[in-house]
Structure 1
Amino acid sequence: MPGMSQHPVLFGTLATSFAISQPLSFVLDVNIQEQNKVLSESKTLTYGTHNEAVSVLQKKLKNINMFKGEEDGKFGVMTEHYVKKFQAKYQLNVNGRANKETIYKLIQKEREHYLEPLKNLEEETIDVGMYSEDVKKIQSALHYFGYYQGKIDGIYGPLTKEAAKAFQEDHKIPVKTKLDKQFVQQLEQTKTPDQDAIVHTVQKTPDTKTVKVSVSGDVIQIAKSYLGAPYRWGGESPSGFDCSGYLQFVFSQVGVQLPRTVSDIWNATTPVQKPSVGDLVFYETYKPGPSHAGIYLGNGSFIHAGNNGVEISNMSGSYWQQRYLGAKRVSQ
């Protein structure tokens, strides 16, 4: 991944001026570098121009929330209007012409726009599995600077965590995360009756012995750390999971060995009337009987390896509600 340890030289003197004016140095995403090159090497863009540079101009104005038109590459009345607004905002000559001064200022302001959420990382508290618009901004910024190539989905999963860590290491900016003991401590402080740490036993197959295992915050924490991992039929590792492979992998991290198929997991676990955090919830999907399962998170949601990869779904959604078979407890 670019930007982890070595930073290629950016194009021309424009990059040099940025390096002097900013305390942090970056390598931009390859596409962003190309866009900047197209724009900085273009002639003055004026009303009536129709080319790739105008498309880049429109895109960059939109990125900093200063363009609401279509990115069509046509320098028309609307594009001229927003160029003038940009020039006025940053005390440039307001003529509606995207000359070198305007272009360089636009590239600079776009860069600062994406830098802001990364500067604020040290002030944020980010949980693995967290979804928010702030995480989307962080992902977009990490992508802009060449650290993140995943989906901009607002979920702080493994790819986002890795990219943020690389950014931290390169620029010595700490990111606070509520993990490990902090996660369990918070759970203990805020738990509701269905969030109590669970210690249960269940008889597995005849050739396995019965032992006690705690199923609570550790399992949930581990399960959420793989949010965004891709789906793969037969997959049983972070490079690709199917639903039972995901369950088997997660529980193996706390010393619990689950069977490999959903139907065998169903047969090897204990029925419960109402699921608690860490229990399994089962569904009948592509064939009769239990064919899909996930881990209950509380508040009517569960985490599972679905068609879109490891994700969190709502049990009350129409698809899942009508296919729900019941909940079972994992212990061994």
Structure 2
Amino acid sequence: MKKRNGVGEAIVLSTMAAGFMLLSPDNAKAAEAGATTDPLITKDEKFDTEQTLRYGHKGLSVKAIQIELMALDFYSSKLDGVYGRNTQQAIKEFQFVHHLKVDGIAGPSTLNKLFSSIDTKTYQQFTSTKLLNGDKGEQVRQLQEKLSRLGYFSTTIDGKFGPLTKGAVLDYQNRYGLKADGVADSTTLKHLFTNQNVRGKTITVRSVKKQTNFSVDTSIIKHATSLIGIPYKWGGTSPSGFDCSGFLQYVYSQKGYTIPRTVSDIWNFGVNVSKPSIGDLVFFQTYKRGPSHAGIYLGDGKFIHSGSKGVTVSSMNTSYWQERYLGSKRIVQYN
């Protein structure tokens, strides 16, 4: 949020949240009392991003947050206006992906990020839209821009849905297993405008010299799994709490390996493998272009990592991780 002369500037609600009156926690009880009536609000109603919402709060402000989280596929539970465990966990997941402090509290920094997602607001305009060959206008231009950012559209962005735009939509649909007909229906548009991945991102891997062991060290798994349950801690590098790369660095240090501190540096440090074996590292693109999250592959499509829930095991086969998977690397020993 921008501030002018020390005064917070409110953010306009997205279309999806426009049907709800947005109140501060102090007014939440009043909102509950009138929850069964139609709220008196227009789509230009403002949301106060200077407030702080947390576990236990209730009201239409909480419902608005749930709606935004649902639009981004972080929340799939009931839109009940209750800041319970599911809402708290969704906020943690959102904070983790966007490199915010992971505390499950919807404070100003989290609310500003949540309500300023241009791609989400763009998608919300398209919930009942179908764009196809021959269409023209602003919505087609926004579609082309998003396809371009994801690496599927490389020609002039002109707002005209022609053969090249259709081909880009087809490529995208085939890539993610959507109905491949070249028509940008609501399913394709939702997937597209909530996709933070970037296609074709290439990062130079340093040359490897004097390799003494190119095989994967599967014994690393024993050390990694012994840490399951340790909480996530921003900047954490010890068993009192780990962030993503801090966890990897600690685990490998237990086997005498020295690896870089950041995910991007670890990516450049490792050796490319076509597909992961047990003990290899798997990398994902989350909040920015290029590798920003990583874990250790356990086999059977699972990996262990330090995320918003702490050190835990996740499946690479879920839509979230599938869409963000970048590749695999192997850590080797050097003379």
TM-score, length-normalised on structure 1? 0.37
Q: Larger radius of gyration, structure 1 or 2?
A: 1
Point out the structure with the larger helix share.
1
